[in-house]
Structure 1
Amino acid sequence: MTGPRVKQDGRHYQKGPMYVAWESPEFITQPYPVVLVHGGTLQGTEWLDTPDGRPGWAQRFVGAGFVVFRVDRPGHGRSPYHPDIMGPTGPAFSYERAREVYFPDGGGETQWPFALDDEAAFDAFIAAYGPMPVDLAASQTLDADRLAQLLDKIGKAIIVTHSASGPSGWLIADRRPDLVAAIVAVEPMGPVFGHTPGIGTLEWGLTAAPITFDPPHDTPDQVRQADPYSLKIPGLQGVPVALLTGETSKFASFASSIIPFLQNAGALVNHLDLPALGIHGNGHGLIYERNSDEPFEIVVQWLDTAMGTTDPM
């Protein structure tokens, strides 16, 4: 997806394009395509082969009969970034931060796909990470704008997010409510109004970028001061949402504030809490951990139910 032309010092540049990869099964059996939106400082490769060599969720969705679109969010992976055009970058992603997020001390993680003392494997894992724009709201706005362009081309789709791309799911529903069939938010960024060190703050509740409420709110302070039960988001009205969380991740604790916020907004929310479903030991990287096929099957079963109640037209 192309970005707009911007002018600096008498020359024109493109701002924030978004790389999109596409794959289809030989026989398409599902009514809607899936759009996979990677998390944090990563790139679309996180949906591909797992660190221990198994097919990732991108391949699994294709095998289940879905057309799959896999994006590199603007400024990540194969979507070019230049600070003169998109603004300064935030901090680099450190090895220490990775350990805090994916297998914190005492966290009980048992599904990580390689030994915790395998430094070569850890090097390969960290190699995929890059910085995010320092302005989280601007970054989320770019994500939502490009994803809206994508849906305008491909039609109604299922949006699957992970971690820091969770807000992109809420924002694309705000921009293209008629083109979002369902949202699967895997360990989404939170809590409501939360601050993530080195990344930013969700000033508008679920997002750092502005989102549309009814009745309208013009500033983040108005949203914070409003009666939580009054915070309706028209773009999320009636949208099936699955919130998928693992057992050992700090991100799982965010569900306790995100779910009621989404419910008040008008979304049809199901919490797919893996330990409650008998799947144990997963952390924040559950989409590529050793048992990643188990939560994938949970998601596909949920989609079968959610799409079964929705007119594919």
Structure 2
Amino acid sequence: MTLAFWEQAAPRTVRRGHMWIAGKRIQRNAQTYQCGPLFVEWEAPEQVTRPWPIVLLHGGGYQGTEWFDTPDGRPGWAQRLVEAGYVVLVADRPGQGRSPFHVETMGPMGPAFSYEHGRHIYFPAEYEGRHTQWPFARDDEAAMDEFIAGYGPLPADLAFSEDMEADRIAKLLDRIGPAILLTHSASGPVGWLVADRRPGLVKAIVAVEPMGPPFAQIPNIGTLTWGLAATPLNWEPPVASPDALREAAPGEHRLPALAGLPIVAVTAEASAFAAASTPAIEQLNAAGCQAELLHLPDHGVFGNGHGLIYEKNSDAALVPVLNWLIEHTEPSDPAHRKS
């Protein structure tokens, strides 16, 4: 007799719950509506052994479920981080997942997410020989149906979307206190924006293959008009326009709120997104940040693509990230770590 899938899962002792970060009230035809609330699901181990919680932000058009179980049914990074002693908060970015979207409050939707676009991002033909860790066969149409099912449209206005997301995540930090941000893909720019708006409340940023490079036009999503993001950061001295920022010499404009903040971009062996991370890290460092690259093959983790957080070796991919987090966010003396 085959066991039901829930009977095969290891039992856990955790604390869990959810919360809403409210969106802004807006008026339409003498009625009041809410624009862009943020749904957050949280989980904590029985004993919290790490000093800061981690906020997980998913990629574009998807939802927080990408941090949960992998497509082949194994525990994802959210559970593994809880097992490592962290409080973990998983957000559904506004208008995605369980965070509602309505065009009357958030503006037009962007394009739907196609199967072809998904294949191009997650297992492009040009990396087929090197990309060995995708969790299901490329011709498994039933598995592809289930994978694509979680995708929906983004707001058509990327600057509006990023500004709204950064506002809600900043308010989440106001509520929970200092935290680490762990972003993936299109949420990468939101990490920079939140740290810029809440200096001191962001303790580190791990950006898994962040969307870029600076000033890039991203198909089906929008343009990073202000270099690192579609909406402006607090540059010092202030920048008059995107063109002025693009033409400025490296280091001419700084990001004081991000100075000294530990930042790492995690990149994979078989992904076109990896190349976008180097110029993003270079712009962050020129602006006074403490940013670096963590290329998985340099740590003995091979065969990954853009979906490295839920590929067959996702546990191995997390190991160097955990090591980096411990090194950059915890005292070297265990006696001084928060229990």
**Which amino acid is the alignment partner of residue 35 of structure 2?**
K
Q: Distance in 1 between matches of 2:160 and 2:100?
A: 16
Cα–Cα, structure 1 residues 312 and 229, in superposed 2: closer, same or farther, change >3 Å? farther
Mean Cα deviation higher: 57-66 or 259-268:
259-268
Secondary structure class of the residue paired with 2:79: helix
- 2:63 maps to which residue? 43
Q: Please say if 1:189 is aligned against 2:250.
A: no
Contact conserved, 1:32 with 1:312, CA < 8 A, in 2?
A: no
Give the share of equivalent positions with the same residue, in percent: 56
Mean Cα deviation higher: 212-221 or 24-33:
212-221
Q: Please say if 1:34 is aligned against 2:30.
A: no
Give runs of aligned pairs for residues 234-313 of structure 1, distance below 5 A.
234-308=256-330
**How far does the alpha carbon of each residue in 1:72-92 deviate from its partner, in whole angstroms, 9 at most, with x for none?**
000000001000110000000
**How far does the alpha carbon of each residue in 1:127-163 deviate from its partner, in whole angstroms, 9 at most, with x for none?**
0000000000000011100001100010000000000
**Which amino acid is the alignment partner of residue 108 of structure 2?**
P
**How far does the alpha carbon of each residue in 1:35-87 deviate from its partner, in whole angstroms, 9 at most, with x for none?**
00001100000000001111000001100000011000000000010001100
Contact conserved, 2:77 with 2:309, CA < 8 A, in 1?
A: yes
**Which amino acid is the alignment partner of residue 101 of structure 2?**
Y
Q: Distance in 1 between matches of 2:91 and 2:109?
A: 20
**Which amino acid is the alignment partner of residue 273 of structure 1?**
H
**How far does the alpha carbon of each residue in 1:261-286 deviate from its partner, in whole angstroms, 9 at most, with x for none?**
11112221221101122211100000
**Which amino acid is the alignment partner of residue 231 of structure 1?**
H
Structure 1 length as normaliser, TM-score? 0.98
Q: Distance in 2 between matches of 1:97 and 1:291?
A: 23
**How far does the alpha carbon of each residue in 1:144-188 deviate from its partner, in whole angstroms, 9 at most, with x for none?**
000011000100000000000000100000110110000000000
- 2:175 maps to which residue? 153
Secondary structure class of the residue paired with 1:181: strand
Structure 2 length as normaliser, TM-score? 0.90
Contact conserved, 1:204 with 1:220, CA < 8 A, in 2?
A: yes
Q: 5+ residue gaps in structure 1?
A: none
Shift of 1:308: 3.1
Shift of 1:32: 0.2
Give runs of aligned pairs for residues 7-156 of structure 1, distance below 5 A.
7-107=27-127, 108-156=130-178
Shift of 1:309: 5.3
Q: Distance in 2 between matches of 1:69 and 1:256?
A: 28
Q: Distance in 1 between matches of 2:250 and 2:233?
A: 15
Aligned residues: 313
Q: Distance in 1 between matches of 2:241 and 2:200?
A: 26
Q: Distance in 1 between matches of 2:133 and 2:172?
A: 34
Secondary structure class of the residue paired with 2:56: strand
Shift of 1:218: 3.0
**How far does the alpha carbon of each residue in 1:243-262 deviate from its partner, in whole angstroms, 9 at most, with x for none?**
10000100001122111111
Q: Distance in 1 between matches of 2:226 and 2:253?
A: 11
- 2:10 maps to which residue? none
Q: Distance in 1 between matches of 2:219 and 2:147?
A: 21
Shift of 1:302: 0.3
Q: Distance in 2 between matches of 1:50 and 1:226?
A: 43
Q: Distance in 1 between matches of 2:97 and 2:240?
A: 34
**Which amino acid is the alignment partner of residue 294 of structure 1?**
A
Structure of higher CA gyration radius: 2
Moved over 4 A (4+): 309-313
Contact conserved, 1:33 with 1:66, CA < 8 A, in 2?
A: yes
